[in-house]
Structure 1
Amino acid sequence: MVRDRSVTSFSNSTLVGRTDDMDTLNRLAHAARWGHTASAVVTGPTGMGKSTLLRAFLDGGACRHATVLHGLCEEGSSGDPLSGVRGLLGPTVQGASLEGGALLALTPGALAGEPPHARAVQRAFHGLYRLAANELSRRPLVLALDDVHHCDELSLRWLDFLLRRADGLPLLIVLTQQTEAAAHARGAPAHRALADLTAGRRTTTLRLRPLAEKDVAEAVRQFLPAPATPAFAIRAWSVTGGNPRLLGRLLRALRAEGAGSGVGDADRIAETGGRVLAAWARELLDRRPSWVGEVARAVAVLGERGADHVGSLAAVPADVVEDALTVLREAGLLTSGGGHLADGAVRAAVLAPLDGRALSGLRTRAALILSDAGRPAEEVADHLLPLPSISEPWMPGVLLEAAVLAEARGAPETAARYLYRLLEVDPDSVEVRVRLAGALAETDPAEAIGLLRGALEPSVDIRTRARIAAQFGTTCLAARENSAALGMLEGVLDALDAELGPDPLPADRELRTLVESVLMIVGSHSRSTIAATRKRAAAVTVPAGDTPAQCQKLAATAVLTALDGQAPEPAVEYALRAARSHQLPLKSLSLINSAFVLDLADRTEDAMAALDRLLRHGRENSALRTYTLALSIRALHLHGLGALPEALADAGTAVQICGAERWGEMMVLPRLALAGVLVDRGEPARAEELLTGTAPAWRDQYVWTYHRYLMAHGRSRHALGDAEGALALFRECGRSLEEAEVRHAAYLPWWAEAACVLAELGRAEEAQEPAAHGTRLARRWGTPRVLGLAALARGVATPGERGVELLGEAVRELSASPARVEHARAELVLGQALLASGELRAAREHLRAAADLAQRCGALALSQKARGALLAAGGRMRKMTASPLDLLTSMERKVAGLAAGGAKNRSIAQSLYVTVRTVETHLTSVYRKLDISDRAQLAPVLRSPGVYAERVPQEASRRRGQR
């Protein structure tokens, strides 16, 4: 069979990356002219360009003064004695006068049939030698034999015979051989003959390696008209592994599709390369022994994790498996250093010859082999998923075990895939439905609700129904279907009380507590039910928090107690007990509820610890929805502390996650958190866009989103100059909270915002009403934050010296609180009041403090406003900082330090227990603050902060010039 040599290389006029190999052959040819007999073997995997190199050498100047004889050993010719010699010498000696031995050797079929007699072989060898010697006496001789892995044994023996007797004659023998073919020919007579031939000291072996990235770039440059972008060359090298033949096919295919070598065309390489690799795989397997295909199919089915069992599945010995893997690896079909196929298209091409029944049988056998070998259930189950049916008795047990393991390692979507197959086997199984609903709760709560409804049949035992109802309630909360959950929970709780009686067993008491805690959590979220839920909570016994269900109920009780707005101590005690308990069920809302109460009470470290614990759980268990919700709440908490860059990073990450998930539209809190930060960062227009994009269906009926939306929208309208619109939104927030009987000073202090807006509008007397309302609430709760806000509201509503005194009180109270932005705001309002009364020196002091504090918080809008007021007061802003480090938050310093040391974003994220997106957001903020463009500039700035003040104006000027 003659192969199509046109695909060996995409450019026969050049030998990209083969210069050293060509130089070696040229040196050998030059030495042979002067009587230094030598031989060379060019080896390499299929498509590595061996024949191209050989042809270029024979056509080059080094062979110009020699007789060149070139032959090809065709596939299947190894059984024809001396066929290789005939291909090498036959055409050259046609018409020549041959003696008997040479004539015998060059006559087709003369030595065929039975193994030739030794004397006939000897006579043929000597005749051929004399033929070669006659040629050598006239001029140098170069014998080139291509694809010697197909050569017959006698031809190789004669070449060895010739080399041994031609010492001192101008002879060079050049052979090409596939390395993977040598692997599966090991032990054959022809292979031993070739080993004897190349064992001599005069033989040079040239092992052709894949092309390097720079060689691929050069080859692309020569083949395609336009210069290749670095991305194009790198992707072409990655897909082809540097195999010249594959590279040629890829470039031809791309050119046929009209692609060039630009950035956009680089994106097409993977798809086109997959088709090229698949065709290459089919061609290779068609030309290889059947056992290579069997091993390839076993590898395709088992994948990387089952590499140790390829031999068992392919039913071939271990040494044959190694030979086949060598063939596949050197042909570029296996990953370098790995045991799995390089591309999905290659895998499909390898499995294509199998019909559906054969492929299912192969996968079933693979699962059994892995199961018998004690491999993890997930590895076994992965081979059951593609089967058309789960028909064997042992299969459901494997799928269930795999689902349990997937849930335990935090892979709910993987667990769901196993459970869906189980549900096909037994659609009525309550256990499978409930477990599947648990796996879907984070990713598809609506689907989970449907599954749970089907499991809540009246015929189901009440204790089982109670557990399912608790799960149904929390899932409905995620899907925004609270009303459906409340009726179900109340009915189950009544039925459970009737069943258990007045003195239930401890396990039954825990079950009842669980259902009641979920009823309290679900009821506290809806604007229409929170008041009734608070009354219900006031009548129940506060649990000790010794069990998981008690912890959940304790945290819910803490929230409902705090919303009464009385002294914070009882609610804080409940929240701390719940958050610190080792019995806390992390999948519940207990940590969120505890953090909410602790934040209201200014217990900032305790609140942050609870949220960090929940975030860690979300990361480790792939609970993406829980993680996103916790990020949003932490952003709100950080915003309240005046850590705006950190709040911006958390809220931005949460919004990005929502944008990529199916349930993202239902989660409004990330957008509300981000909008609030953007207003203080001086970007109210962006905040407005976020707020108008929140769907009312997911926003208006819930306590925790509707009122926060009104506050954030009111603040954005105020920042955009619509004071009346802002005032209307703040008053609607207060009216709705009163309707829901939520009267808490620290939770969304609309009254302080309304009082400040009214004072700006010149309606100070009207501002006294919301100020008085807030003061009553603040004195009941009693933390410095709310007392300071109340003093601020009264101060703007009170004219004259008394108003200035109240504003001074606000500054003192807020300076003792963690609310740094509110402290800066109070400093600004006090400074403005002093300026209006003519006390310029005191005004400048407070205005400068407001600008400094707001700048450090990242409240850019407030800082700018304070600077303007300071200039109006005749003051000058001192230089904010002499060091860039002073501009960075603590987290930004950590991220910047690691990045300056060379750490990649993923490594930084892992070491700081944050997401990669959070790291990216922090780095963007660092670059903006330091006025640099990339991480390469970080190290000099961080090492030499003293030069920052001189460098920044120059760098900023240069960039403005570029823009």
Structure 2
Amino acid sequence: MPDLSAVKSAPATTHSRARAAGPAAARPRRRSDDPLLIGRERELEVLEGLLRQGAADGTAVLIQGEFGTGRTALLREALGWARRDGDTVLSAWADPSEQGAELGVARQLFEPALGTIGGTGAPLAGPAAHAAGLLWPDRPAAPSTPADDPAAATLTGLYRLTAHLAARGRLVIGIDDLQWADRASLRWLQHLLRRAGELPVVVIATVVPAPAPADPDVLGRLAPLFRHRVALTALDADSVAAATAEVLGGPGDDHFREVVRTTTGGNPFLLHTLLRTIKASGNGPDPETAARITRFVPADAGRALHPLVTTAGPHTRDVAQAVAVLGGTPALDVVSAATGLPEPAVLDAVHALERTGLMRRTGHAAAFACPMIAIALAADVMPSIRQDVHVRAAELMLAQGAPAEQTAVHAVHASLGLPWVPEVLERAAAEAIRTGAADRAAALLRRALREPLEDEVRATLVIRLGEAGLALDVPEAVRNLWLGLDLSRDPVERAAAARRLAGALFAVDRYPDGLAVLERTAASLRATDAALALRLEVDHVYAGLHELGSAPGVLPRLMDLRIQDAAGTSAERPLAALLGLRAIMRGESPAEAVTLVRQALTHGMNPADDESFVYSGAVLLLGATGETELALDHADAAVEQARTRGSAFTLAHSRIIRAAVYGQLGRVPDCQSEAEAALVALREIGVGPRHSHSVLAAATLADALVLQGRLDEAQAVLEHAGLTAGLNGHWINDYVHLVRGRLRAAQGRPEEALADFRECGRRTEARGMRCPWIYPWRSEAALVHAAIGEPEQARTLAAEELELARRWGVPEAVGAARRALALATGGPEGLDLLREAVRTLAGTPGRARHAQALGDLGAQLRRAGRVAEARACLKEAVTAAHRCGAALVADRALDELRAAGDRPRTRSFHGPAALTPTEHRVAGLAAKGMTNREIAQHLFVGLRTVEVHLTHVYGKLGIDGRPGLAGALSASDGILS
């Protein structure tokens, strides 16, 4: 409905006669209990004022409003006031079926007063008697002279009859739906209103805003004679709240009220109908009701609208039903096809429905004024008619080459057996998946599978349904993929389905089943397509490495594979990823590993033609080669690609990988937020907290929280995921042991921490993992041994890791091992090792580890009595830790600074975060172009004070002077808050 709140009133007229207003005119009105008048307080006040204004003489008020806006209720209320005030009230309700009845409205008005006319003491005679005789032919009347012009005599007679009634006091005439009044009655009313000032008569009539009367010329001349207008428009937000509170006992929140108002268009009749249905159902104004609002449209609402629809004009019923069934804003040619009517007839019907206020036309399309009208009318259409409407619309759109998704909106309602339906639905489902609407795709595919299909077509659709289900419900997706794999006979389709099915099984920790699917399908394809079989074998070997029980069985095959085995085939890239992982795991050559991984990732981490976890594994372990920034590039691209494709499962998995890479880079807050988002996404698609993907996200999140010193939160994350007790043999739990060890060490539980680190080492060695930088458990254990006074064990583990790291050759691994050995060694030798560790880590991606080494060096320098050097080192540690979000490292360095006699006022000593509030103000003013003198005057300080502040600012920001000031202040300076 349109916005319905305007109330208009023309200036008051001066009447030739004047009578004193009675006492009732000043009495306040008692408001009606009619629910349609809730929110109409302003209109009621205007109408009451007009009635009081016309108490002495006459007045005419036209109430305009569309269907359901409360025109009749407002008229009824005004007539009720008049009766209580002792006025004579005549009322009539015009009806389109009575437009041909001569003086039909006039008869309704005067017939109830027939018994009182003779009692006034003034007998009817002349034109009045003539009019009475026309109205009531059977009633004896005084003799009258035949008129030369019967029509004029009738008008004069009705006017005299009106005057006869008005002689006893004010006369109030009310006419509802004036647009349907007969021609003769309209002419009489026109005659009366032109002489309104002569009689104490108040005329109140209602009319729709754009009426289509039998005689538009008469009504068009009549309307301007109403000097006052009350326009009823849609209820505003406050009125909707009041109505909601009245019916449901509470107004609900803003969202609920907006949903209700949008659904009903603010139409009072529709609003109260909907609210009463909600109340009858036992529901209240809550978010759950708002989400299901269309379910509360009553079944009989359409029948209530039918009289208005059918009387609007020719073909309006068919057109209204078609638009309602089609939904949205259908084009008129589609409506024409759906109804079988010519387009001009459809356009005429739409125009007629527009005049009733039910419909709106925009260009070459039409829609109902609010959703509730469409829902109500559609619900009342017979199923056979509904189906026919959809089929005709879909066939036209198909012939016009409309997008499959648009055609599918109607194809889903078609009868079974139409040959074009499955193809349309499959194409629409593919588009829905591409745009991220997996739920829509699944619904379309389920409908397509109801059709009689060939086995191969059915297999394809079931597999597509399983793929769509990966974004919605992984367990259900597993069932569909398994069924599709069994049905399919196409090798390429079977290989792709097997990989998808295995990935879904792995996601729900059904590793033996996933391995069996890959192995069995590869065996079935080996004789006919060796490349496809090898492709499946790559995933089989990679997945087999994840479990301690299956790893020994796949390791020999892993060692036998060569990149030449897949040259020029679809298995080349995934095999390169697997061989790159092999090179990293065995600690053979970072350069060789990076070359293979780069070859594998030429189409990204989640290639559209070959999605597999082997690629994400390669990205995850790239950090062990020192190429962490390259890993982040691939993770970023994978996340954006997954968003575009709309796969919720792939997106969640990609975000887990990116979270882990953020952790490797020391971007702690980013790591935390990404891991949290991944956990939420996994939970939404049915992947529980104990599944491997969720475990990786939870462990990554806990690791980030430990670095921030949020130990209780990290503990809670592990407890929620069930990771605080014994862990199964899955590869990801090696990482859990490492993270849990770090948490327990930070909690002051060294024995438990050591047990976790040793278990991490036992597991990695069982998998043949020799690279010290995948899980650096030795250096972590060495730090714990050193902290509890066991230097020998600490030195042994740290020295072993340092030797392995040197062979591997990645600086970050070398620097971390050297830091552990330094802390285990202590003394001057330990200080030298710490300095080397700081220098080694300074150029690596591991910023958090660099900050740790700086903090350790500063602490050791303070203990050695070299306080000035210690302070400089500790300040650098605080700044570095603050920049990467490692609050635990920053806090420890600040404690050491305080122990060294410093009194730090900030959590950073370089960059914008290091500036004091005064330095910030001075720097900001200087960046805007103010001179030092202007700054001093602005801040009421001395010129020398400004110069000192700016000197400090330049030093902290690392710039030479004013030219670089604005850029340094606006830049993030790498700080992650």
**Aligned-pair CA distance for 1:661:** 2.0
Q: 1:81 aligns with which of 102, 108, 121?
A: 102
CA distance in 1, matches of 2:812, 2:137: 104
**One-letter amino acid of the structure 2 residue matched with residue 600 of structure 1:** A
CA distance in 2, matches of 1:616, 1:769: 45
Q: Per-residue CA shift, 1:832-857, capped at 9, x if unaligned? A: 33333343333333333333322232
SS in 2 for 1:616: helix
**One-letter amino acid of the structure 1 residue matched with residue 265 of structure 2:** G
Q: Per-residue CA shift, 1:52-106, capped at 9, x if unaligned? A: 4335555669997986544333564334321211222333453333344222232
Equivalent residues of 2:59, 2:196 under 8 A apart: no
Match of 1:400 in 2: 426
CA distance in 2, matches of 1:644, 1:852: 14
1:819 aligns with 2:843: no
**One-letter amino acid of the structure 2 residue matched with residue 194 of structure 1:** L
Match of 1:853 in 2: 880
1:515 aligns with 2:543: no
Q: 1:415 aligns with which of 428, 441, 461?
A: 441
Equivalent residues of 2:180, 2:214 under 8 A apart: no
Q: 1:640 aligns with which of 661, 664, 682?
A: 664
Q: Per the alignment, do residues 529 and 680 of structure 1 end up closer, same or farther by CA in structure 2, a change over 3 Å counting?
A: same
Equivalent residues of 2:83, 2:89 under 8 A apart: no
Q: Per-residue CA shift, 1:383-439, capped at 9, x if unaligned? A: 34356x622233223233333333444444433333333434337333333333333
SS in 1 for 2:687: helix
Equivalent residues of 1:243, 1:332 under 8 A apart: no
Match of 2:350 in 1: 322
Match of 1:41 in 2: 62
Match of 1:954 in 2: none
Q: 1:197 aligns with which of 199, 217, 222?
A: 222
SS in 1 for 2:466: helix
CA distance in 2, matches of 1:524, 1:321: 70
Match of 2:628 in 1: 604
Q: 1:758 aligns with which of 785, 797, 800?
A: 785
Equivalent residues of 2:252, 2:286 under 8 A apart: no
Q: Per-residue CA shift, 1:926-953, capped at 9, x if unaligned? A: xxxxxxxxxxxxxxxx99999xxxxxxx
CA distance in 1, matches of 2:724, 2:823: 37
CA distance in 2, matches of 1:50, 1:469: 66
CA distance in 2, matches of 1:585, 1:682: 38
CA distance in 1, matches of 2:292, 2:478: 39
**One-letter amino acid of the structure 1 residue matched with residue 860 of structure 2:** A
**Aligned-pair CA distance for 1:646:** 1.4
**One-letter amino acid of the structure 2 residue matched with residue 322 of structure 1:** V
Match of 1:866 in 2: 893
Match of 1:576 in 2: 598
1:712 aligns with 2:739: yes
* Comparing 681-690 and 694-703, the one that deviates more: 694-703
**Aligned-pair CA distance for 1:679:** 1.5
Match of 2:54 in 1: 29
Q: 2:72 aligns with which of 42, 45, 51?
A: 51
Please show how residues 461-540 of structure 1 align to structure 2 within 5 Å: 465-490=494-519, 492-493=521-522, 496-499=525-528, 509=531, 511-512=532-533, 514-530=535-551, 533=554, 535-540=556-561
Match of 1:152 in 2: 182
**Aligned-pair CA distance for 1:119:** 5.5
**One-letter amino acid of the structure 1 residue matched with residue 70 of structure 2:** G
TM-score (norm. length: structure 2) = 0.77
- Rg bigger for which structure? 2
Q: Per-residue CA shift, 1:855-913, capped at 9, x if unaligned? A: 2322222222222232223332243369996399xxxxxxxxxxxxxxxxxxxxxxxxx
* Comparing 266-275 and 201-210, the one that deviates more: 266-275
Match of 2:762 in 1: 735
CA distance in 2, matches of 1:824, 1:324: 76
Q: Per the alignment, do residues 42 and 305 of structure 1 end up closer, same or farther by CA in structure 2, a change over 3 Å counting?
A: closer
Q: 2:588 aligns with which of 566, 574, 582?
A: 566
Q: Per the alignment, do residues 467 and 327 of structure 1 end up closer, same or farther by CA in structure 2, a change over 3 Å counting?
A: same
Please show how residues 81-160 of structure 1 align to structure 2 within 5 Å: 81-94=102-115, 95-96=117-118, 97-99=123-125, 100-107=129-136, 120-133=150-163, 142-160=172-190
CA RMSD of aligned residues (A): 4.3
Equivalent residues of 1:525, 1:703 under 8 A apart: yes
CA distance in 2, matches of 1:89, 1:10: 30
CA distance in 1, matches of 2:550, 2:148: 105
Q: Per-residue CA shift, 1:726-778, capped at 9, x if unaligned? A: 11011100110001111222212111111111111111111123212311221
SS in 1 for 2:418: coil
Match of 1:339 in 2: 367
Match of 2:462 in 1: 433
Match of 1:939 in 2: none
Equivalent residues of 1:831, 1:842 under 8 A apart: yes
Match of 1:769 in 2: 796
Q: 1:72 aligns with which of 77, 85, 93?
A: 93
1:299 aligns with 2:327: no
Match of 2:712 in 1: 685
Equivalent residues of 1:685, 1:716 under 8 A apart: no
CA distance in 2, matches of 1:792, 1:592: 30
Counting aligned pairs with the same residue, the percent is: 29
SS in 1 for 2:41: coil
CA distance in 1, matches of 2:716, 2:130: 95
Please show how residues 7-26 of structure 1 align to structure 2 within 5 Å: 9-10=34-35, 15-18=40-43, 21-22=46-47, 25=50
**One-letter amino acid of the structure 1 residue matched with residue 706 of structure 2:** V
CA distance in 2, matches of 1:458, 1:61: 79
**One-letter amino acid of the structure 1 residue matched with residue 880 of structure 2:** L
Match of 2:677 in 1: 653
CA distance in 2, matches of 1:349, 1:141: 41
**Aligned-pair CA distance for 1:197:** 1.9
CA distance in 1, matches of 2:812, 2:246: 71
**Aligned-pair CA distance for 1:310:** 2.9
Q: Per the alignment, do residues 699 and 189 of structure 1 end up closer, same or farther by CA in structure 2, a change over 3 Å counting?
A: farther
CA distance in 1, matches of 2:825, 2:138: 120
CA distance in 2, matches of 1:29, 1:744: 98
**One-letter amino acid of the structure 1 residue matched with residue 769 of structure 2:** V
**Aligned-pair CA distance for 1:446:** 4.1
* Comparing 804-813 and 787-796, the one that deviates more: 804-813
1:631 aligns with 2:631: no
Q: Per-residue CA shift, 1:539-591, capped at 9, x if unaligned? A: 33326987764323322322222212133111112222333448972433465
**One-letter amino acid of the structure 1 residue matched with residue 65 of structure 2:** G
1:174 aligns with 2:198: no
Q: 2:265 aligns with which of 212, 218, 241?
A: 241
**One-letter amino acid of the structure 1 residue matched with residue 420 of structure 2:** W
CA distance in 2, matches of 1:617, 1:884: 35
**One-letter amino acid of the structure 2 residue matched with residue 679 of structure 1:** V
CA distance in 2, matches of 1:74, 1:305: 31
CA distance in 1, matches of 2:388, 2:725: 49
1:162 aligns with 2:192: yes
Return 5+ residue gaps in structure 2 as ranges. 1-30, 140-146, 916-965, 971-977
The alignment of Structure 1 onto Structure 2 pairs a total of residues equal to: 857
**One-letter amino acid of the structure 2 residue matched with residue 687 of structure 1:** A
Please show how residues 199-218 of structure 1 align to structure 2 within 5 Å: 200=224, 204-217=228-241
Equivalent residues of 2:330, 2:366 under 8 A apart: no
Match of 1:375 in 2: 402
**One-letter amino acid of the structure 2 residue matched with residue 394 of structure 1:** W
Q: Per the alignment, do residues 228 and 28 of structure 1 end up closer, same or farther by CA in structure 2, a change over 3 Å counting?
A: farther
Return 5+ residue gaps in structure 1 as ranges. 1-5, 111-116, 501-507, 889-941, 947-963
Q: Per the alignment, do residues 725 and 618 of structure 1 end up closer, same or farther by CA in structure 2, a change over 3 Å counting?
A: same
Equivalent residues of 1:579, 1:590 under 8 A apart: no
Equivalent residues of 2:474, 2:685 under 8 A apart: no
Q: Per-residue CA shift, 1:599-632, capped at 9, x if unaligned? A: 2223233222111111011111111111111111
Equivalent residues of 2:470, 2:648 under 8 A apart: no
CA distance in 2, matches of 1:11, 1:489: 67
**Aligned-pair CA distance for 1:42:** 1.6
1:784 aligns with 2:811: yes
* Comparing 124-133 and 805-814, the one that deviates more: 124-133
**One-letter amino acid of the structure 1 residue matched with residue 666 of structure 2:** G
Match of 1:898 in 2: none
Equivalent residues of 1:295, 1:325 under 8 A apart: no
Match of 1:592 in 2: 616
CA distance in 1, matches of 2:208, 2:794: 90
**Aligned-pair CA distance for 1:281:** 3.9
